[in-house]
Structure 1
């Protein structure tokens, strides 16, 4: 499961204001058996926390809903596509979800 996430060429990332928020999000989502992975925040994304959640793009609505329901503050939501050795990053606004 986690090995599959490592090799994704297109994926979603959620950043947080603090490490404690990232870890709380991980705990919440793992309890709901969501396929996520805690990863270092990408260089292309500016964030106050060095940890982010990585997930399959199609899971975004469910993951976003779970985090809202548990009142876990999110810093940003991004779509990432690997092109060669570079990441193309696009910020996703909540109204797009």
Structure 2
């Protein structure tokens, strides 16, 4: 799974929060298939989606969206994590 951001500030803030929560993350360039205002994205394991979503919501982190790799080779927006 991959979180895309509109600003570098929000990406770095999310990185700090997720590391503090001991979630295994990898900061990487945003794939060209995802239109975002920030060149940084955060990759995390699928199993951590609900915890990551909870942190994003509770800490008011501004994100472009959470994406997963699609069968066609690109990325698709993940829905349902906001609840």
TM-score, scaled to structure 2: 0.88
**Bigger fraction of residues in strand:** 1
Mapped to 2, the partners of 1:66 and 1:21 lie a distance apart of: 13
So what's the TM-score if we normalise by structure 1?
0.76
What is the alpha-carbon root mean square deviation over aligned residues? Answer: 1.5
Shift of 1:76: 1.2
- Aligned positions of 1:79-90 closer than 5 A: 79-81=68-70, 87-90=73-76
Q: Which runs of 4+ in 1 moved over 6 A?
A: none
Q: Which structure is larger by alpha-carbon Rg, 1 or 2? A: 1
Q: How many residues align?
A: 81
- Pick the aligned partner of 2:21 from 10, 29, 32: 32
Identify the residue that residue 34 of structure 2 maps to in structure 1: 45
| Structure 1: unaligned runs, 5 residues or longer | 1-11
Match of residue 17, structure 1, among 6, 10, 16: 6
Corresponding residue number in structure 2 for 1:55? 44
